[in-house]
């Protein structure tokens, strides 16, 4: 998990995004051979170079790149089982050629990187996008929907349709984000899925990683403490709750935190 840990701790880390994303998949697949999937992507990049697609520019490149990604590889958005945690596992996206916007965008971005093309992730609310820059050509890509090309206006319209919120006065939401932000959003997606499914062990693994990125996030500390309580890890939950109070001594939630702390102490004593 070294690449993932490095990026979460330091946004300037040179660790590769694709490897870090594959390491997230070890929450589902602890013995995952990440190198196997990196080699698959390397092979696809060789195919692209054999067709000289990297020599194309602008819309010509996008058209041929999409022909390879969507027609040859068969990449498609998973519209029938969207909230399956496997859609957040890059290895599964590579194997099954389907996923959700963010993992598909990671695949799209990292494959383009291998042939020298600049693609960046855009953490737009409700629907992750990609942005491609190739010379004077610049466009947003909806990787989930067969790579449809989008203008800023298209993106804001989509945002209104998905969330009911008008983001037109927040153009910063269409700025590319770094690898750390992408990984945090992937983990946040999994947090919601595992919480809904009450998959506490996997949820704990996700919260550990999110707190690696933001150790002083008191909300995540409280969430982790509650998960640990469910897993009967009372002493560890107690440490998280005490850390919460150290970081936020004036919290309006103090009575609730102290109540949970007392419960953790009682349950811990009963386990001795």
In this prediction the pTM is 0.94
> How far apart, in whole angstroms, are the C-alpha atoms of residue 263 and residue 257?
10
Contacts of range 230-239, beta carbons closer than 8 Å, 24 or more positions apart? 230/200, 231/200, 231/201, 231/204, 232/267, 232/271, 234/264, 234/265, 234/267, 234/268, 234/271, 235/264, 235/268, 237/264, 238/264, 238/265, 238/268
Instruction: Give pLDDT tens digits for 152-186.
Output: 999 999 999 999 999 999 999 999 999 999 999 99
pLDDT at 266: 85
Say how far residue 219 (Cα) sits from the centre of its chain.
Answer: 19
pLDDT band at 260 (very low <50, low <70, confident <90, very high): confident
pLDDT at 233: 94
Domains of the chain, with CATH numbers? 2-174 (3.10.620), 216-271 (no CATH)
């Amino acid at each position: 998990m070294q690449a993932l840990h490095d990026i979460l701790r330091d946004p300037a880390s040179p660790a590769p995004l694709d490897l870090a994303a594959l390491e997230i998949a070890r929450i589902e697949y602890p013995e995952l051979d990440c190198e196997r999937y990196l080699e698959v992507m390397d092979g696809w990049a060789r195919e692209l170079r054999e067709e000289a697609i990297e020599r194309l520019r602008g819309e010509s490149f996008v058209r041929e790149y999409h022909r390879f990604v969507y027609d040859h590889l068969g990449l498609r958005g998973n519209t029938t089982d969207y909230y399956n945690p496997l859609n957040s596992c890059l290895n599964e996206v590579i194997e099954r050629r389907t996923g959700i916007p963010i993992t598909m965008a990671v695949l799209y971005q990292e494959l383009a990187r291998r042939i020298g093309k600049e693609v960046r992730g855009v953490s737009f609310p409700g629907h992750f996008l990609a942005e491609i820059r190739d010379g004077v050509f610049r466009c947003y890509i909806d990787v989930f929907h067969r790579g449809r090309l989008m203008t800023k206006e298209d993106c804001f319209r989509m945002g209104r349709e998905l969330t009911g919120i008008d983001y037109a006065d927040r153009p910063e939401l269409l700025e590319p984000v770094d690898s750390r932000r992408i990984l945090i959003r992937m983990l946040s997606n999994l947090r919601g899925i595992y919480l809904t499914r009450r998959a506490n062990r996997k949820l704990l693994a996700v919260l550990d990683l999110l707190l690696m990125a933001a150790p002083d996030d008191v909300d995540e500390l409280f969430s982790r403490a509650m998960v640990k309580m469910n897993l009967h890890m009372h002493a560890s939950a107690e440490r998280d709750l005490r850390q919460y109070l150290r970081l936020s001594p004036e919290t309006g939630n103090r009575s609730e935190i102290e109540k949970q702390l007392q419960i953790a102490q009682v349950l811990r004593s009963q386990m001795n």
